[in-house]
Protein backbone atom coordinates (compact mmCIF):
# COMPACT_ATOMS: atom_id res chain seq x y z
CA UNK A 1 0.00 0.00 0.00
CA UNK A 2 1.28 3.48 -0.86
CA UNK A 3 2.17 5.56 2.20
CA UNK A 4 2.37 9.36 2.41
CA UNK A 5 6.01 10.42 2.75
CA UNK A 6 6.44 13.97 4.18
CA UNK A 7 10.04 14.07 2.90
CA UNK A 8 9.01 13.40 -0.70
CA UNK A 9 8.42 16.29 -3.11
CA UNK A 10 5.00 15.60 -4.54
CA UNK A 11 4.02 17.13 -7.91
CA UNK A 12 2.05 20.38 -7.97
CA UNK A 13 0.44 19.43 -11.27
CA UNK A 14 -1.30 16.38 -12.65
CA UNK A 15 1.31 14.38 -14.50
CA UNK A 16 -0.04 13.04 -17.76
CA UNK A 17 -1.82 9.72 -17.34
CA UNK A 18 -0.14 7.48 -19.88
CA UNK A 19 -1.94 6.45 -23.04
CA UNK A 20 -1.40 2.82 -22.07
CA UNK A 21 -3.16 3.35 -18.75
CA UNK A 22 -6.12 5.15 -20.31
CA UNK A 23 -6.45 2.52 -23.02
CA UNK A 24 -6.43 -0.18 -20.33
CA UNK A 25 -9.44 1.53 -18.76
CA UNK A 26 -11.31 2.03 -22.02
CA UNK A 27 -9.90 5.44 -22.94
CA UNK A 28 -10.65 6.83 -26.42
CA UNK A 29 -9.22 9.64 -28.53
CA UNK A 30 -11.69 12.24 -29.81
CA UNK A 31 -11.05 15.29 -31.99
CA UNK A 32 -13.05 18.53 -31.80
CA UNK A 33 -12.90 21.57 -34.07
CA UNK A 34 -11.83 25.04 -32.98
CA UNK A 35 -14.76 26.78 -31.28
CA UNK A 36 -16.66 23.54 -30.65
CA UNK A 37 -18.24 23.07 -27.23
CA UNK A 38 -17.27 19.86 -25.46
CA UNK A 39 -19.80 20.32 -22.68
CA UNK A 40 -21.94 23.19 -21.39
CA UNK A 41 -22.45 24.66 -17.96
CA UNK A 42 -24.73 22.46 -15.80
CA UNK A 43 -24.25 19.39 -18.05
CA UNK A 44 -23.71 16.11 -16.20
CA UNK A 45 -20.14 14.79 -16.17
CA UNK A 46 -19.73 11.54 -18.08
CA UNK A 47 -15.99 11.44 -18.87
CA UNK A 48 -12.53 12.30 -17.61
CA UNK A 49 -10.82 14.50 -20.23
CA UNK A 50 -7.10 14.96 -20.89
CA UNK A 51 -5.67 17.06 -23.70
CA UNK A 52 -3.41 15.27 -26.20
CA UNK A 53 -3.06 18.11 -28.74
CA UNK A 54 -4.38 21.67 -28.92
CA UNK A 55 -5.94 23.83 -26.22
CA UNK A 56 -9.28 23.90 -24.40
CA UNK A 57 -10.74 26.63 -22.19
CA UNK A 58 -13.33 26.40 -19.45
CA UNK A 59 -15.45 29.54 -19.25
CA UNK A 60 -18.62 31.20 -18.03
CA UNK A 61 -20.67 33.95 -19.69
CA UNK A 62 -22.57 36.40 -17.50
CA UNK A 63 -25.96 37.99 -18.20
CA UNK A 64 -24.25 40.87 -20.02
CA UNK A 65 -22.46 38.51 -22.38
CA UNK A 66 -19.04 38.98 -20.74
CA UNK A 67 -16.91 35.84 -20.83
CA UNK A 68 -14.80 34.83 -17.84
CA UNK A 69 -12.21 32.12 -18.50
CA UNK A 70 -11.71 29.74 -15.58
CA UNK A 71 -8.67 28.10 -17.13
CA UNK A 72 -6.83 27.20 -20.33
CA UNK A 73 -5.55 23.63 -20.70
CA UNK A 74 -2.93 22.28 -23.10
CA UNK A 75 -1.25 18.94 -23.89
CA UNK A 76 -0.94 16.67 -20.86
CA UNK A 77 -3.44 18.63 -18.78
CA UNK A 78 -6.85 17.47 -17.60
CA UNK A 79 -9.93 19.55 -16.84
CA UNK A 80 -13.45 19.35 -15.46
CA UNK A 81 -12.79 16.65 -12.84
CA UNK A 82 -14.82 17.87 -9.78
CA UNK A 83 -18.27 16.84 -11.12
CA UNK A 84 -16.90 13.32 -11.63
CA UNK A 85 -16.68 12.94 -7.85
CA UNK A 86 -20.08 14.37 -6.90
CA UNK A 87 -23.62 14.63 -8.21
CA UNK A 88 -23.58 18.15 -9.69
CA UNK A 89 -23.24 19.62 -13.16
CA UNK A 90 -20.24 21.34 -14.68
CA UNK A 91 -19.74 24.86 -13.24
CA UNK A 92 -18.47 26.09 -16.62
CA UNK A 93 -18.50 25.19 -20.31
CA UNK A 94 -15.51 23.68 -22.13
CA UNK A 95 -14.69 25.06 -25.59
CA UNK A 96 -11.84 24.25 -27.97
CA UNK A 97 -9.49 27.22 -28.40
CA UNK A 98 -7.86 25.37 -31.29
CA UNK A 99 -8.61 22.12 -33.01
CA UNK A 100 -7.97 19.67 -30.19
CA UNK A 101 -7.45 15.95 -29.71
CA UNK A 102 -8.53 14.66 -26.31
CA UNK A 103 -8.40 11.45 -24.37
CA UNK A 104 -11.62 10.60 -22.61
CA UNK A 105 -12.28 7.88 -20.05
CA UNK A 106 -15.82 6.99 -18.98
CA UNK A 107 -16.64 8.18 -15.45
CA UNK A 108 -16.95 4.78 -13.76
CA UNK A 109 -13.78 3.54 -15.44
CA UNK A 110 -11.92 6.66 -14.32
CA UNK A 111 -12.95 6.08 -10.70
CA UNK A 112 -11.79 2.48 -11.08
CA UNK A 113 -8.46 3.75 -12.50
CA UNK A 114 -7.94 5.95 -9.44
CA UNK A 115 -8.82 3.23 -6.97
CA UNK A 116 -6.37 0.81 -8.57
CA UNK A 117 -3.58 3.41 -9.04
CA UNK A 118 -3.14 5.30 -5.74
CA UNK A 119 -0.18 7.40 -6.94
CA UNK A 120 -2.28 8.74 -9.82
CA UNK A 121 -5.12 9.33 -7.37
CA UNK A 122 -2.78 11.41 -5.20
CA UNK A 123 -1.61 13.43 -8.21
CA UNK A 124 -5.22 14.22 -9.11
CA UNK A 125 -5.79 15.40 -5.53
CA UNK A 126 -2.75 17.70 -5.72
CA UNK A 127 -3.88 19.06 -9.09
CA UNK A 128 -7.36 19.87 -7.77
CA UNK A 129 -5.85 21.52 -4.70
CA UNK A 130 -3.67 23.76 -6.90
CA UNK A 131 -6.66 24.79 -8.99
CA UNK A 132 -8.65 25.58 -5.84
CA UNK A 133 -5.76 27.74 -4.65
CA UNK A 134 -5.67 29.55 -8.01
CA UNK A 135 -9.41 30.26 -7.91
CA UNK A 136 -9.15 31.56 -4.34
CA UNK A 137 -6.20 33.75 -5.32
CA UNK A 138 -7.99 35.26 -8.31
CA UNK A 139 -11.22 35.82 -6.37
CA UNK A 140 -9.23 37.70 -3.73
CA UNK A 141 -7.54 39.90 -6.33
CA UNK A 142 -10.73 40.50 -8.31
CA UNK A 143 -12.43 41.67 -5.11
CA UNK A 144 -9.77 44.39 -4.83
CA UNK A 145 -10.89 45.91 -8.16
CA UNK A 146 -7.29 46.81 -9.02
CA UNK A 147 -6.37 45.69 -12.56
CA UNK A 148 -2.64 45.84 -11.78
CA UNK A 149 -3.01 43.32 -8.96
CA UNK A 150 -5.25 41.03 -10.98
CA UNK A 151 -2.85 40.88 -13.92
CA UNK A 152 0.30 40.43 -11.83
CA UNK A 153 -1.38 37.77 -9.66
CA UNK A 154 -2.33 35.77 -12.75
CA UNK A 155 1.13 36.06 -14.33
CA UNK A 156 2.99 35.27 -11.10
CA UNK A 157 0.82 32.19 -10.53
CA UNK A 158 1.54 30.93 -14.05
CA UNK A 159 5.24 31.69 -13.65
CA UNK A 160 5.31 29.70 -10.43
CA UNK A 161 3.58 26.78 -12.12
CA UNK A 162 6.45 26.71 -14.63
CA UNK A 163 8.89 26.33 -11.76
CA UNK A 164 10.66 29.61 -12.54
CA UNK A 165 12.42 31.79 -9.96
CA UNK A 166 11.48 35.43 -9.37
CA UNK A 167 14.56 36.63 -11.27
CA UNK A 168 13.81 34.45 -14.31
CA UNK A 169 12.06 35.97 -17.33
CA UNK A 170 8.68 34.47 -18.10
CA UNK A 171 6.99 35.09 -21.45
CA UNK A 172 3.23 35.01 -20.95
CA UNK A 173 1.75 32.50 -23.45
CA UNK A 174 -1.54 34.38 -23.79
CA UNK A 175 -2.97 37.23 -25.78
CA UNK A 176 -4.22 40.42 -24.13
CA UNK A 177 -7.75 39.19 -24.77
CA UNK A 178 -7.07 35.92 -22.94
CA UNK A 179 -5.55 37.81 -20.01
CA UNK A 180 -8.71 39.95 -19.95
CA UNK A 181 -10.95 36.89 -20.02
CA UNK A 182 -9.06 35.28 -17.13
CA UNK A 183 -9.05 38.38 -14.93
CA UNK A 184 -12.56 39.68 -15.59
CA UNK A 185 -11.22 42.86 -17.20
CA UNK A 186 -11.92 44.54 -20.52
CA UNK A 187 -9.20 44.04 -23.09
CA UNK A 188 -8.76 47.81 -23.33
CA UNK A 189 -8.08 47.88 -19.60
CA UNK A 190 -5.50 45.12 -19.92
CA UNK A 191 -3.69 46.93 -22.75
CA UNK A 192 -3.62 50.17 -20.80
CA UNK A 193 -2.58 48.49 -17.55
CA UNK A 194 0.19 46.45 -19.18
CA UNK A 195 1.68 49.67 -20.59
CA UNK A 196 1.48 51.25 -17.13
CA UNK A 197 3.18 48.24 -15.53
CA UNK A 198 5.90 48.38 -18.19
CA UNK A 199 6.63 52.01 -17.27
CA UNK A 200 6.80 50.97 -13.61
CA UNK A 201 9.28 48.17 -14.53
CA UNK A 202 6.90 45.48 -13.31
CA UNK A 203 6.62 44.00 -16.82
CA UNK A 204 8.53 44.06 -20.09
CA UNK A 205 7.20 43.97 -23.64
CA UNK A 206 9.29 41.86 -25.97
CA UNK A 207 8.14 41.40 -29.57
CA UNK A 208 4.60 42.28 -28.46
CA UNK A 209 4.73 39.55 -25.78
CA UNK A 210 4.31 40.29 -22.07
CA UNK A 211 7.39 39.27 -20.03
CA UNK A 212 7.54 39.18 -16.24
Q: How far is CA 11 from CA 15, 121, 129, in A?
A: 8, 12, 11
Least reliable range by pLDDT among 26-35, 106-115, 157-166, 176-185: 157-166
Tens digit of pLDDT for each residue in 30-81? Answer: 999 999 999 999 999 999 999 999 999 998 887 777 788 888 888 888 999 9
CB 92 within 8 A of CB 59: yes
Half-sphere exposure of 181 (CA within 13 A, CB side): 17
Residue 33: CB atoms within 10 Å: 10
Least reliable range by pLDDT among 7-11, 110-114, 138-142: 7-11
Q: Give percent helix, percent strand, percent coil of the chain, each to the nearest 5.
A: 40, 25, 40
- Domains, the chain, with CATH or none: 19-127 (2.60.120.10), 145-211 (1.10.10.10)
Tens digit of pLDDT for each residue in 84-138? Answer: 998 899 989 999 999 999 999 999 999 999 999 988 888 888 888 888 887 777 7
User: Is pLDDT above 70 for 2?
Assistant: no
Amino acid sequence: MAVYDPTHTYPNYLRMITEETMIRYGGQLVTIKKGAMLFDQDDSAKYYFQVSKGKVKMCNVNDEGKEFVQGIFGPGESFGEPPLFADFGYPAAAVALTEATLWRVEKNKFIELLLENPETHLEVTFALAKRLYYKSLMQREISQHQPERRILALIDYMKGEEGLKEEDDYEVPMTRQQVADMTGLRVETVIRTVKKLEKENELKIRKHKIVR
